[in-house]
Structure 1
Amino acid sequence: MKKYIVVFFALLMAPLTSTAADFKEGVEYNVVQDTADSKPTVTEFFSYVCPHCYSFQPLMNKLEQRNPELELNKVPVAFLGRELGPILQRAHGAAVLLKVDKELTPVIFDRIQRQKKMPKNIADIKAVFLDNGVVEKDFDGVINSFALNGMIAQYDKKTERFDVHGTPTIIVKDKYELDMGQIGSEERFYQTVEYLLSLD
């Protein structure tokens, strides 16, 4: 994660302007799969323990606002946070199944990154859910469910498929991976994603 410090600081602090209209493979993005998804999808591989992922959330939220048709998929990785990684991965999946991920994602990020309250186990995660309006029986019904186990298997499969080793990693239409070190500004980030969404 350390290698992202300078990149994301520059991305967040740069002026919201872009002077170039062209986007080049090998510069702003790389092709990582042969076939593109026909739908306008963006996949964000992230971890709640990654401070750069936390800083990146406002950009992802604005990207959604700029592109209402966009299908944004958040994939929590298990390889960060040691034994906490799979627990937080399960927490995100449970929030998705309970349809509270939009509300709980910023809450979990805030607790870990700003408040420095790192959960230690599933019981701590459960407390966060209950504190934010989730009914206990609903949480208990999904946290070890077949559906959630299947979702986690898909998270791991996607992480392996795109050979993800760092976060955040952004994949557009299951074909193009952004090179955040080459993009340089917030507006350029939006424009690069929107350009890739227009490709086959």
Structure 2
Amino acid sequence: MKKVLLMTVAILMMPFAAMAANYQEGVHYTTINKGPATAKPEVSEFFSFYCPHCYSFAKSVVPKLESKLPEGVKFTQKHVEFIGREMGVEMSRAFAVAHQLNVDKKIEMALFSAIHDKKQRFTNRDDIRKLFIANGVEGKDFDAAASSFMVNAQMSSMKRDTENAKLSGVPALVVNGKYRLETSSIKSYDELVDLAVYLTTLK
């Protein structure tokens, strides 16, 4: 019985062993800090609403990634400020507001579509506010959230995490707060997802 159990465990571990053999630190992923990983496994996507590749990534890769993450692995998103000049900051605020109001996915797709499909220009916070209202959010709720402590704290956290990740562009994935995927060495979106899943097993 014990022998059968050991064989079963070995078989279950084979896919991870195969992935470990295929993925190399410094080639497929980079360790961005020498400290401990996050207490619980997580995959963080860094993106910008102004990035067309991020829009494609949100539609085709993120759903696949979320569906393949093992139970107990958290998926988070962090908007970067370094694209879009001053509006990059306002878009980070918009993302944080959407998160606080629990309309993340709806507003995310609405903003992506407005910028890339409809070619709409956003020049100030009021332009963003109008989009929220058009998507069912009360203006007073947007106003309250936009200046709230929670939104400002989330923006500070996203900015700090962006700096720690040492990003050269987006979309980008960081796993367990420690491993940044190197997309230039990855041949397909399926491989990207597999690598992210593998890295969640590392400490």
Superposition TM-score, scaled by structure 1 size: 0.85
Conserved? CA contact 1:64–1:70, under 8 Å = no
Question: Which digits, 9 at most, give the CA deviation of each residue in 1:17-46, with x for residues without a partner?
Answer: xx9962111121111122212322111111
Mapped to 2, the partners of 1:109 and 1:96 lie a distance apart of 16
Which of 124, 129, 132 is residue 126 of structure 1 equivalent to? Answer: 129
- Distance (whole Å) between structure 1 residues aligned to residue 94 and residue 108 of structure 2: 10
Question: Post-superposition shift, 1:87?
Answer: 0.9
Matches within 5 A, 1:99-118: 99-118=102-121
Give the superposition deviation at 1:69. 3.4
The residue aligned with 2:15 is none
Q: Which of 175, 188, 192 is 1:189 aligned to?
A: 192
Q: Which residue of 2 aligns with 1:169?
A: 172
Which position in structure 2 is the counterpart of 1:146? 149
Q: Distance in 2 between matches of 1:25 and 1:122?
A: 41
Q: What percent identity do the matched residue pairs reach? A: 37
Give the match for residue 97 of structure 1.
Answer: 100
2:29 counterpart of 1:26:
no
Counterpart for residue 68 of structure 2: 66
Deviations 1:152-187 (A, max 9, x none): 111111111222242112101111110101111121
Q: Alpha-carbon deviations, 1:67-92, whole Å to 9, x = none?
A: 25331121111111112111111100
**Cα contact 1:87–1:121 (8 A) shared by 2:** yes
Matches of 1:150 and 1:30, distance apart in 2:
27
Unaligned runs of 5+ in 1: 1-18
1:118 positional shift: 2.1
Question: Which has the larger Rg?
Answer: 2
**Larger mean Cα displacement after TM superposition, 84-93 or 152-161:** 152-161
Q: Does the 8 Å CA contact 2:28/2:186 hold for their aligned counterparts? A: yes
Verify the 8 A CA contact 2:20 2:198 in the aligned structure 1: no
| Alpha carbons of structure 1 residues 74 and 179: separation in structure 2 relative to 1, 3 Å | same
Kept in 1, the 8 Å contact 2:32–2:166? The answer is no
Select the structure with the greater relative contact order (CA < 8 A; seq sep ≥ 6): 1
Q: Counterpart amino acid of 1:22?
A: N
Structure 2 counterpart of 1:29, which letter? Y
- Give the paired residue count: 183
User: 1:21 and 1:59 mapped to 2: Cα distance?
Assistant: 24
